[in-house]
Structure 1
Amino acid sequence: MAKLLKGKEVVEALNNKLSKEVEALNDRGINPTLGILRVGDRADDLSYERGAIKRCEQVGVKVQVTALPADVSADEFFATLDKLNNDINIHGILMFRPLPKHIDGEKARKMLSADKDVDGCTDLSLAGVFTNTKLGFSPCTAEAAMEILKYYDVQVAGKKVAVIGRSLVIGRPVAMLLMHENATVTICHTKTKDVPAITKDADIVVVASGQMESVGKEYLREGQTVIDVGISWNDEKNKLCGDVRTDEVVDIVDAITPVPGGVGGVTTSILVKHVVEAASRQN
């Protein structure tokens, strides 16, 4: 039976650390604050917003929500973003995407201040990931995967890692973060030939294909650690599922993140961690 790499323990450790850092900043007259910019009332945005607010409250980070109507003009949206960029009392900005079609999402992404880009979506943040420098912040999900490996003392240096998925949200950035920790990384994607041969040869497998339960026992072997980044609602099973068929592999691999209860909760904590780091950097 595989060890379950539960996110709850990682979150608790991060909360304890962040609470102390926030207290130290408060003593200097600095109140770390997250600015949330949301357009419309998408259910998934509201759910993530509630989670982010709760996590911020747990460690003493303040939150300022700017909710704009779905039909807000592009001019008003960009004026609002500019105001948040220049507000010295806002240290990090979470800008929900995708934006409505009448607002240029690429323009918004590039306009967001990298210093406040706590979600790691700007070009400068991504450049920081690839160059291993503190330009902006890493995408939260990618860093959450790394935080789980670190917390559970999973050796990365010198290990072979297979990453399934090449998105800029998780696949490519997590591959870079793993390389910075001296892992040997192979990125697999839709054009990769014989993916199971590659993943079976790896010590660690990060699955971020975006395809629910697409990875089963034919991809994995004994002795591996699996980080399942996916999360989707399975109508047939009436529950949340990851990109891995966990029930099929839990008796094969050494360790695996559960879904739910794995990477997702840690991702929100990384967002808050970035707000605290941003407040420290800006002061």
Structure 2
Amino acid sequence: MERQLDDNAQNVMDGRSVSRVILAEVRERAERLKAATAGTPHLAAVLIGDDPASATYVAMKEKTCRRVGMRSTVHRLPANTSQAEAEDLIRRLNADDDTDGILVQHPVPRHLDEQAILDCVSVQKDVDGLSTLTMGLLAAGRPGFRACTPLGIIELLDRYHVTFEGAEAVVVGRSNILGKPMALLLLERHATVTICHSRTRALADMTRRADILVAAVGRPELITGAMVKPGAVVIDAGYNKVPGRASDVGDVEFASAAAVAGLITPVPGGVGPMTIAMLMQNTCTAAEQRRSPAS
């Protein structure tokens, strides 16, 4: 019989608790920076269109900025904004000495080239880590901001003292936002990395090899306990709306996977809080790099 586990089980990684610790650390850093330079870290969020979920996410980020003693400004553009108008706003924010970090809320309206907009963000202010140049720095092993969700996963694993070196890691998903940077960050930590995706043959054979398994493919409960190596660390980075389900559903079938895994993240309360914590951390770092007397 499957062992039913709740979010208080010993093998469940608590992203909410870890994120609170990180946010407290960020607040201390922001206070020190303000004392030294009279400057408060400032995040500019760009929200294009009227997607309700995007508005909710931006509001959460605004609230978190206030919580850690940082400023947040939301630049709202209508859904019919042109490519030129969106890119012009980004360039003005790049030139604004009062702005430390720039976030373009995903997704943008379909008529816009989202990657081209992201590519307008200055590397020094790309706190979401999603421009082509910033991702290239990651691929080359050069310093730069890392995408918030994969960075948050690495941070969570570090705080749970997970060993990367020599581990076999499997990432299910190959998006630019999550799958690809996740694989590169794991590689940077000396894991042996395999990337799987929707066209991978014998997916279960691949996932059962993983010491660290990251599910980020956007398919509800694709990964079941039968696909998990006993004792593996399972990271569920999926958030899926399923009719009839009260809350978001991950890419991992939690009950069966938790009965097998050594460590596992829940949905919600696992990866999500870490993503916002990393955005705050990156923004504070950007402010330190730009505002500190030695910079």
2:33 equivalent to 1:36? no
Letter in 1 for 2:185: L
- Residue ranges of structure 1 left out of the alignment (5+ in a row): none
Amino acid at match of 1:239: S
> Aligned in 2, Cα 1:76/1:201: closer, same or farther, shift over 3 Å?
closer
Q: 2:62 aligns with which of 30, 53, 57?
A: 53
In the alignment, the residues of structure 2 paired with residue 98 and residue 159 of structure 1 have an alpha-carbon distance, to the nearest angstrom, of: 34
1:5 aligns with 2:17: no
List aligned pairs for 1:55-70, cutoff 5 A.
Answer: 55-70=64-79
1:7–1:265 contact (8 Å) kept in structure 2: yes
Change over 3 Å in CA distance of 1:198–1:261 after alignment to 2: same
Equivalent positions of 1:61-210 (< 5 A) are 61-135=70-144, 137-210=145-218
Give the root-mean-square deviation of aligned CA atoms. Answer: 1.5
SS in 2 for 1:3: coil
User: Which structure 2 residue ranges, 5 or more long, are not aligned?
Assistant: none
Select 2:22's aligned residue among 14, 30, 35: 14
Q: Tell me the SS of whatever aligns to 2:127.
A: coil
| Equivalent pairs, count | 282
Deviations 1:173-222 (A, max 9, x none): 11111111111111111232222112111211111111111110221132
Residue aligned with 2:241, SS: strand
| 1-structure distance, mates of 2:111, 2:197 | 31
Q: Normalized against structure 1, the TM-score is what?
A: 0.95
Counterpart position of 1:256: 264
Aligned 1:267-282 pairs, distance under 5 A? 267-282=275-290
Residue 54 of structure 1 aligns to a residue whose secondary structure is: helix
One-letter code aligned to 2:91? D
Report the CA distance shift for 1:222/1:105 in structure 2 as closer, same or farther (over 3 A): closer
* Alpha-carbon offset, residue 72 of structure 1: 3.1
Q: Deviation digits for residues 100-148 of structure 1, max 9, x if unmatched?
A: 344333331221212111111111110121122223x111111111111
Aligned residues: percent identity? 32
**AA aligned opposite 2:99:** I
For 2:90, the aligned partner's letter is L
CA drift of 1:79 comes to 2.5
Q: Distance in 2 between matches of 1:7 and 1:184?
A: 25
SS at match of 1:206: strand
Contact 1:10 1:147 in 2 (8 A): no
With normalisation by structure 2, the TM-score equals 0.91
- 1:149-177 Cα deviation digits (max 9, x unpaired): 01111111111111111111111111111
2-side partners of 1:81 and 1:8: how far apart?
Answer: 31
